[in-house]
Structures are given as structure tokens and as C-alpha cells.
Amino acid sequence: MLPHSWKIVGRVLLALCLLLFVSCFRAVVHDMFLVNSAQGYDSFGAGWASSLVVIFFSIGVVLLAFSQEYREDERIIHIRQQALARTVILYIIVMALNLIANLVLVRMLSQDSLGPVMMVKRAFLCVPAFILYYQLIFKLSLWSENKKLSRDEE
């Protein structure tokens, strides 16, 4: 586990990710609707920014997920283990649904050569989402446990 101070770096990277996402989205909308279609689409800027968004998002989520809480004890370690088990189950369900959807789309669109490439791409892009699922489940579980403890103390 990383020290608690690494959460700050993760939050900064996620903020940069959000800013880059917004600027990338604005550039795509500007190029699609406001620029004359005869001029073409400048995909270099949007592609470069979207790559940075994926990189910053991945690193930021990993730093947030694997940094210790301010007070890390046995109860929090147990909650982490439960959250990881729930996340693995959720991830398996999401990947199975993704596989089924891709197989159906390949059959409908008859793009046999593109199907496996898209499945692998989506699988790799889901890894940061897996970590985000874990973080959300862990934080919700920790919040509910802290709420139960505060009720028991009263």
C-alpha cells in the first residue's frame, strides 16, 4: 500500500483528467459543428488529449485505490477485502455482458475482422474502470460501516 499522501497526487491527476476531457470534448464539438466540413477534422489534437485522459485517469485511480486511509486498521483491511471480492464479481458480470454485446454487434454488422480487436481494446479500457468500481464499493462500504459504528456508540 502507498502512503496516505499519495491520494493528493491521485486527486490532482484526476482533476487534470477532467480538464483534459472537457477541453477534448469542446474541441471535438467545435470541429464537428462550427468548422466547415470541407476543412476536415483535426484528429491529432483530440487523439492526443484523449490519450492523456486515459493515462491520467488510470494513474490517478490506481493512486487513489492503493493509498492507505488516514487510519488504516484491521477493520479497514477487512472492508478492503470484501470490496475487492464484490468488485471482482461485478467485473466478471460487466466483461461477460461486454463479450455478449460485442458478439451480437459483430454478427449484426458482419465486421469479423474488427470484432476481436474491439473486444481486446474494451477489455484493456475496463481495467481502470475495475479499479474505480473497487474504489467506489470500498468507500461506500467504509461509509456505511462508520455510520453503523457511530449509531452503536450513541
Write the DSSP symbol of residue 68. P
**pLDDT at residue 21 is higher than 80:** no
**pLDDT at residue 99 is higher than 80:** no
3-state secondary structure of 2: strand
Confidence of residue 132 (pLDDT cuts 50, 70, 90): confident
Q: In terms of pLDDT, which residue wins out, 96 or 142?
A: 142
Q: How far apart are CA 67 and CA 142, in angstroms?
A: 15
- Average pLDDT score over residue span 32-44: 50
The CA distances from residue 91 to 11, 88, 96, in Å, are 23, 5, 8
pLDDT value, residue 126: 66
Where do the structural domains in the chain lie, given as residue ranges?
1-68, 71-154
**pLDDT at residue 135 is higher than 50:** yes
Confidence of residue 144 (pLDDT cuts 50, 70, 90): very high
Number of residues written out for the chain? 154
Backbone angles phi, psi at 113, to 5 degrees: -80, -25
